[in-house]
Structure 1
Amino acid sequence: MNSSGRVVLPSAFEDADIDNLALLIADMLERLMAHNDQIPLLAESLTRFHSRAVPSINVLDYLRRIIKFTKVEKTCLLLTLHYVDQICARTPLFTLSSLTCHRFIIASITVCNKGLCDTFCTNSFYARVGGIPVSELNDLEREFLRMIDWRLTCTREVLQEYYINLVRTDSTGRFSILGIDMESTATSRSPSPPAMSPAPVPMSHQHRSIRREASTILIDTATLTPQVPQGPTVEQNMAFADLQKSWGGMESESAPG
């Protein structure tokens, strides 16, 4: 960091300080969550990643906790963004929100570490670090692999593109990359990356639903075939009703007496 407070990062993501990567990723995910939290939650959009309440720990501190205890590699951190793109493009109803982000992150790290790294921890350890029961992490792991179609990796060039995009779109404007003109990278890429978390477009009232475009960060969604959205299952309807009941309970507890 120089005297002006700006941080000049190395040209390759592999050489970047892992805490700076955590800062950039958390900033990206927080902005994604802030938008997606405004989208009404529908029964058919419920997944195993939805928690009953927003976790008390913020995304940055959660990432730092995972980094501290699991020694996660930088590649796995960046792959989390790739997985966000893959899942949101294939499953348009899924959104990374305050209710899903933390479970998504710990499932992503677990799957990536076990699939791509020479050394990794047990699921019971990842569950303790993530703050969830191991049985729940096991379910999340299976669901995560299904949703990414077992496509665990991408090229180094794609990860580098995520790295540059993180710096270019960082909300603080503190970061730059050595030897790269961030302004030119914003206009030279073709095709342009999809806008992050575009706003939902209301359909006619007869449909009583919301059409959502994929909440992707970087990839060209035209290269992927999204799943056809279907109505909620019995399990989703029951979970949605249970979630609404828990929200009602929290509101009554917080109401003045």
Structure 2
Amino acid sequence: MTTGEMVEAATVPRVVPILSSLLQRVAERNDTAAAAEGQRPVSPFQGLTKPAISIGGYLERIFRFASCSPSCYVVAYIYLDRFLRRRRPTLAVDSFNVHRLLITSVLTAVKFVDDICYNNAYFARVGGISLAEMNYLEVDFLFGIAFDLNVTPAAFASYCAVLQSEMAYLEPPAPAEAPRLQLQYCCAGPSDHDDAAAVATAVCHHHNQQQPQLTV
């Protein structure tokens, strides 16, 4: 089997479509809000046009060619949340910045989580940007999260719970099951200090909402 065939045969972990679905709805909601306001934030992550590739296709491309472990996507989600919390309200995930935010957050997570990873030049090619831009975005992102890279087991479990609720949203329920959960949190999951009880409360509150409330 050739390298290309091995890449093609790799099974995409569930976290990839779940995270892409979550970010797709957030981006669409924020696109509508930005269009109503008639302006978009100024940021190194902000593109002039929407990339032709979908968020799901982009995340799947990263997985297939960057060989990241599934846990990297959860950690990337945590880093992205930290970044957006510090940049709020000047930056929100939309169709013009989500791809750059994703490639940068995944790159940062891979370097922290995985024992072996590709360099910035390779990630730049995978992400469809120049090496100079990749380097600049990485530095901006690291300063944006104040180099807060450590993720405790409790924090990891908390964000997994948020992604779990998104999975429940995606999968159609059996006839005897309760209605599907609607996503409450986009890239603003529980803080690192939230415990399992807080997560459960958030998910229950989220279940009772008629419309999802976006926080970024």
What is the TM-score of this pair, normalised by structure 1? Answer: 0.61
**Residues 224-243 of structure 1 correspond to what in structure 2 (within 5 A)?**
none
**Residues 33-52 of structure 1 correspond to what in structure 2 (within 5 A)?**
33-40=27-34, 42=39, 45-52=41-48
CA distance in 2, matches of 1:189, 1:81: 21
| Equivalent residue number for residue 151 of structure 2 | 154
CA contact (8 A) 1:19 1:64 kept: no
Q: Which amino acid aligns with 1:34?
A: E
Quick one: structure 1 residues 175 and 25, their matched pair in 2 at CA, closer, same or farther if it must change by over 3 Å?
farther
Q: CA deviation at 1:46?
A: 1.2
Larger helix share, 1 or 2? 2
Q: CA deviation at 1:18?
A: 4.7
| Equivalent residue number for residue 66 of structure 2 | 70
CA distance in 2, matches of 1:34, 1:131: 22
CA contact (8 A) 1:32 1:197 kept: no
Q: CA deviation at 1:197?
A: 7.8
Q: Which amino acid aligns with 1:47?
A: S
| Equivalent residue number for residue 8 of structure 2 | none
Q: Which amino acid aligns with 2:170?
A: T
Q: Which amino acid aligns with 2:140?
A: E
Q: Which amino acid aligns with 2:84?
A: C
CA distance in 2, matches of 1:24, 1:46: 28
CA contact (8 A) 1:35 1:197 kept: no
| Equivalent residue number for residue 97 of structure 1 | 94
**Which of residues 67, 78, 81 is equivalent to 1:85?**
81
Q: CA deviation at 1:110?
A: 1.3
Q: CA deviation at 1:175?
A: 8.4
| Equivalent residue number for residue 190 of structure 1 | 198
> Would you say how many aligned residue pairs link Structure 1 and Structure 2?
176
CA contact (8 A) 1:115 1:152 kept: yes
CA contact (8 A) 2:12 2:60 kept: no
Three-state SS of the structure 2 residue aligned to 1:152 is coil
Gaps of at least 5 residues in structure 2 are 1-10, 175-179, 185-195
Matched, 1:137 2:131: no
Matched, 1:30 2:24: yes
Structure possessing the higher relative contact order (Cα contacts under 8 Å, 6 or more residues apart)? 1
Gaps of at least 5 residues in structure 1 are 1-16, 177-181, 200-213, 216-257
**Which of residues 160, 170, 173 is equivalent to 2:171?**
173
| Equivalent residue number for residue 232 of structure 1 | none
Q: CA deviation at 1:100?
A: 0.7
CA distance in 1, matches of 2:93, 2:139: 18
Larger-Rg structure? 1
Matched, 1:61 2:57: yes
CA distance in 2, matches of 1:175, 1:57: 30
**Residues 215-226 of structure 1 correspond to what in structure 2 (within 5 A)?**
215=216
Three-state SS of the structure 1 residue aligned to 2:46 is coil
CA distance in 2, matches of 1:190, 1:54: 36
Q: CA deviation at 1:153?
A: 2.8
CA distance in 2, matches of 1:164, 1:59: 21
Aligned CA RMSD, in angstroms, stands at: 2.8
